[in-house]
């Protein structure tokens, strides 16, 4: 084989190799207890789970109700650099109207500055036992 033939074989083999893996954003998932239905007054509980192969930097969790009676933000720094699970808990004040919606947004940032977010929705529902 000539030098040109070897060069063509080398180029053909290089084209068949897998490309270098690209970094991906972290993953995050928020789950609310009771499907996101909560009474007023009451306690809304949930869980968040975040992972990243390059390391987790921070997690910001925000909760906002449609009537703006319940607005809160929490910033967490991962205790495990690659996999974090946290229990979430918010006190829902008395007097919130039946049917008021709320959203929980969790945003995670990795050490390489990639980010992801998860948003879940819930609703305040009164039952006969706590309706006034």
The residue-averaged pLDDT of 30-45 equals 96
Domain presence at residue 129:
no
Residues spanned by the domain of 70: 24-124
Domain presence at residue 130:
no
Domain presence at residue 57:
yes
> What is the rounded distance in angstroms from the CA atom of residue 68 to the CA atom of residue 47?
22
Domain presence at residue 9:
no
Q: What CATH number did the domain enclosing 98 receive?
A: 2.60.40.150
Weakest-pLDDT range from 11-15, 45-49, 99-103, 106-110: 11-15
pTM of the complete model: 0.79
Total domains, the chain: 1
Q: Using alpha carbons only, give the angle 120, 125, 126 rounded to the nearest 5 degrees.
A: 160
More confident residue, 77 or 20: 77
- The DSSP string of 12-32 is HHHHHSPPPPPP---EEEEEE
Domain presence at residue 103:
yes
């Amino acid at each position: 084989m000539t030098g040109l033939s070897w060069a063509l074989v080398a180029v053909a083999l290089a084209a068949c190799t897998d490309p270098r893996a690209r970094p991906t954003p972290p993953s995050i998932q928020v789950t609310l207890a009771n499907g996101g239905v909560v009474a007023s007054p009451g306690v809304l509980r949930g869980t968040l789970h975040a992972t990243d192969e390059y390391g987790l930097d921070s997690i910001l969790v925000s909760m906002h109700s449609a009537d703006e009676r319940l607005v809160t933000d929490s910033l967490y720094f991962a205790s495990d650099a690659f996999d974090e699970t946290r229990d979430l808990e918010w006190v829902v004040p008395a007097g919130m109207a039946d049917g008021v919606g709320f959203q929980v947004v969790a945003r995670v940032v990795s050490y390489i500055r990639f980010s992801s977010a998860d948003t879940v929705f819930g609703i305040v529902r009164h039952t006969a036992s706590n309706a006034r």
